[in-house]
Amino acid sequence: MSRTSGADVRQHPGVEEWRGVERGLLRMRRTLLVAELLPVAVALGALLGPLAGPWWASVAAVPLAAAAWGWRALALNWRSWRYAERADDLLIARGVLWRRLTVVPYGRMQLVEVTSGPLERRFGLARVQLHTAAAATDAHIAGLAPEEAERLRDRLTELGEARSAGL
């Protein structure tokens, strides 16, 4: 597995089609953002307003501003997630400011897992986790439709077995 950063990952040679992740991933992350920051803003406003005065209650605007910034940042991050299947490896690209391209050769894969936690299932999502011989493997693709995750798992397993047969 190798990583490349800084390059425009969408113009990678040998890639016919980049695939994005499901929009449900964006909805799930935005829901978590609002669920975390809105209660903080309400609590700050409710506590500081009566106890310290209306000017101190304006501190409640800080979590709301963070939520507004996070709303846009999550959209940019969601758009950056892409993956592509090539003849000998799988490419995973992500990142807005710091772009990362992970290349996982099919012959190096040892295990491909599909997981889906309760929140991911609520939004109709699954995650594909790739394990290689490298100890620091963190290659994964979040936000896939369960059917696509299963298809990708089966295809990667098949290609991994075919490529590592000669070892």
C-alpha closest to that of 92 among 119, 129, 124, 145:
129
Query: Which residues fall within 8 angstroms of residue 112, CB to CB, at 6 or more apart?
Result: 128, 129, 130, 131, 152, 153, 156, 157, 160
Predicted confidence band of residue 166 (pLDDT cuts 50, 70, 90): very low
The arithmetic mean of pLDDT across residues 149-158, rounded, is 94
45, 57 in Cβ contact below 8 A? yes
pLDDT digits (tens, 9 = 90+) for 98-147: 999 999 998 888 889 999 999 999 999 999 999 887 777 779 999 999 99
Same domain, 106 and 46: no
What residue numbers bound the domain in which 70 lies?
Answer: 25-77
Report in angstroms the alpha-carbon separations of 66 from 28, 36, 70, 120. Answer: 17, 11, 6, 24
Lowest mean pLDDT among 62-66, 73-77, 95-99, 159-163: 159-163
For residue 43, the model assigns a pLDDT of 94
> Is residue 11 assigned to a domain?
no
- Same domain, residue pair 42 and 105: no
Same domain membership, residue 52 and residue 108 = no
**pLDDT, mean over the chain:** 88
Phi, psi angles (nearest 5°) of residue 75: -65, -45
- In the chain, the number of structural domains is 2
Kindly report the pTM of this predicted structure.
Answer: 0.82
My answer on whether 89 and 161 are in the same domain is yes
pLDDT digits (tens, 9 = 90+) for 26-56: 999 999 999 999 999 999 999 998 898 888 8
